[in-house]
């Protein structure tokens, strides 16, 4: 019997080679999947061994059975069952298997940047569908950056009136109304996904200065920023003028002005009220236009504001330099597989403070990195090109010395949108590397089982090609993967 197409790899899988598969009716794959989901016998029963999201799935000639301790566990069992449906002669089958599957990490996220280019609600919902099918349970929305502000805030109406209309390259912008945002939150929840909104501060705030110029410092134009502007276009950042380039690090809020914290309080307060999930992301990356001491003062104060709202603050790893950070602040490591410039020290500071980190190694699972030097989409700064094999062949607990599983909240695969304009663009950059991130987030340690290997992964992903095609996913048909044709 061929290897079943299961991504991520389950914690325990037994293929019953001597047992008959379960046959399914239907002329098309979608019909067979619908029949399998209608047929499966589901049981919700408290089981400490399965935790909050684990499941058991058993298939033989007599039926399909799923057990879980929660509706989320049953949802993930259905995703695996969907991936197992395979052609057989003129029909469809589910191979005879016994699976016990429990996630390694509690937080399994994807990030979508809607600031550099704006994407409508329908595109966000489609990305939620894709992520949930791979057992991700968090959508991090990057809602603000130098190029645009993307969320309605009633107490600060100028943000959407003056700072939402533009994007990279002079493209049209846009923003989510509060109803749009609630629709996204509800849609995500129906797929057992939480939304983690990010307002990136104190850098990446040029758009804030368009709406409220009294809060913004003058841009700091380093040689690197000027070189990026020359190479990629978009002009030089200028106060009061929308920024359409991709250089980073030049903007800052005024750290010692109480009006800044009034603004932050208004924005985070409304976001907290709209967001049922536990996290608010405050950014904190690439604040090169902010004095380091001022940066530490700002992220410490803002992290405590988030905690006071009853939410858990999340910040990029640079915030680990702040001595007075709220102790519950989760760090997000975006450094490299081999840390440089003290990136690992900053990440370790969150764990030393009693919290955890989310790992997002940029040169492995930043999904916007080019697959090849001549690829039309994506960027190259994170040691690109990034192959599918590199995206897979790393382990979260081996990434940063001194941070093992208990110091890791989870794994997140960001998708930055400087070069992306459509859902097809997102699909092309995400798939198949997003499946590698899903496996790092869900499955046991790299190399711990025969399934948790590059050879197993590439075979299993190759078998998903027809399923992704039928789902309308415009994946990158990497020549690293042995794709099947039906």
Q: How far is CA 464 from the centre of its chain?
A: 21
Buried b vs exposed e over 9-46: b needs ≥16 C-beta within 10 Å? bbbebeebeebebbebeeeebeebbbbbeeebebeeee
CA–CA separation, 408 and 56 (whole Å) = 25
Q: Which residues pair with 283 in a beta bridge?
A: 201
- Could you tell me which residues come within 8 angstroms of residue 136 by beta carbon, excluding any fewer than 6 positions away? 108, 109, 110, 193, 438, 441
Confirm whether 286 is a catalytic residue. yes
Q: Which residues pair with 412 in a beta bridge?
A: 109
What's the full length of the chain, in residues?
A: 486
CA–CA separation, 364 and 346 (whole Å) = 19
Whole-number CA gyration radius for the chain: 23
Distances (CA, A) of 91 to 16, 32, 365: 20, 8, 37
Closest CA to 146 of 198, 200, 110: 200
CA–CA separation, 143 and 174 (whole Å) = 11
Burial group, residue 286, by CB count within 10 angstroms (0-12, 13-18, 19+): middle
Closest CA to 451 of 142, 13, 59: 13
How many CA within 13 A on the CB side of residue 268? 29
Q: Say if CB 198 and CB 283 are below 8 A apart.
A: yes
CA–CA separation, 457 and 8 (whole Å) = 8
Catalytic, out of 20, 286, 389, 455: 286
Active centre residues (catalytic): 286
């Amino acid at each position: 019997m061929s290897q079943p197409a299961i991504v991520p790899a389950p914690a325990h899988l037994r293929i019953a080679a001597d047992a008959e598969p379960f046959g399914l009716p239907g002329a098309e794959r979608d019909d067979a999947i619908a029949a399998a989901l209608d047929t499966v016998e589901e049981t919700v029963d408290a089981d400490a061994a399965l935790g909050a999201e684990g499941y058991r799935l058993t298939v033989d000639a007599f039926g399909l059975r799923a057990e879980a301790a929660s509706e989320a566990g049953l949802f993930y069992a259905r995703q695996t069952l969907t991936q197992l449906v395979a052609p057989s002669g003129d029909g469809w089958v589910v191979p005879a298997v016994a699976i016990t599957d429990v996630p390694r990490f509690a937080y399994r996220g994807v990030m979508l940047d809607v600031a550099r280019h704006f994407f409508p609600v329908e595109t966000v919902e489609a990305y939620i569908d894709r992520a949930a099918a791979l057992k991700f349970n968090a959508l991090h929305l990057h809602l603000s950056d130098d190029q645009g502000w993307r969320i309605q805030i009633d107490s600060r109406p100028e943000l959407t009136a003056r700072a939402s209309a533009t994007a990279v390259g002079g493209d049209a912008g846009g923003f989510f109304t509060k109803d749009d945002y609630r629709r996204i939150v509800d849609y995500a929840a129906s797929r057992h996904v939480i939304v983690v909104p990010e307002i990136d501060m104190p850098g990446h705030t040029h758009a804030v200065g368009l709406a409220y110029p009294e809060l913004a410092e003058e841009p700091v134009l380093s040689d690197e920023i000027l070189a990026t502007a020359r190479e990629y276009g978009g002009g030089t950042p200028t106060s009061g003028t929308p920024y359409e380039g991709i250089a980073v690090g030049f903007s800052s809020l005024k750290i010692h002005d109480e009006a800044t914290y009034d603004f932050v309080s208004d924005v985070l307060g409304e976001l907290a009220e709209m967001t049922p999930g536990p996290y608010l992301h405050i950014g904190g990356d690439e604040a090169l236009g902010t004095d380091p001491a001022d940066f530490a003062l700002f992220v410490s104060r803002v992290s405590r504001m988030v905690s006071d709202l009853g939410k858990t603050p999340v910040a990029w790893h640079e915030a680990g330099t702040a001595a007075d950070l709220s102790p519950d602040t989760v760090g997000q490591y975006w450094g490299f597989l081999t840390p440089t410039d003290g990136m690992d020290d900053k990440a370790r500071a969150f764990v030393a403070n009693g919290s955890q980190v989310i790992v997002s190694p940029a040169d492995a699972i930043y999904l916007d990195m080019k697959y090849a030097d001549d690829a039309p989409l994506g960027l190259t700064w994170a040691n690109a090109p990034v192959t599918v094999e590199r995206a897979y062949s790393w382990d979260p607990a081996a990434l940063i010395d001194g941070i093992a599983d208990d110091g890791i909240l989870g794994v997140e695969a960001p998708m930055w949108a400087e070069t992306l304009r459509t859902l097809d663009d997102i699909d092309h950059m995400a798939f198949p590397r997003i499946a590698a991130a899903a496996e790092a987030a869900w499955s046991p340690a790299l190399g711990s089982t025969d399934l948790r290997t590059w050879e197993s992964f590439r075979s299993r992903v190759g078998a998903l090609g027809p399923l992704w095609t039928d789902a309308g996913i415009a994946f990158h048909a990497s020549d690293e993967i042995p794709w099947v044709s039906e």
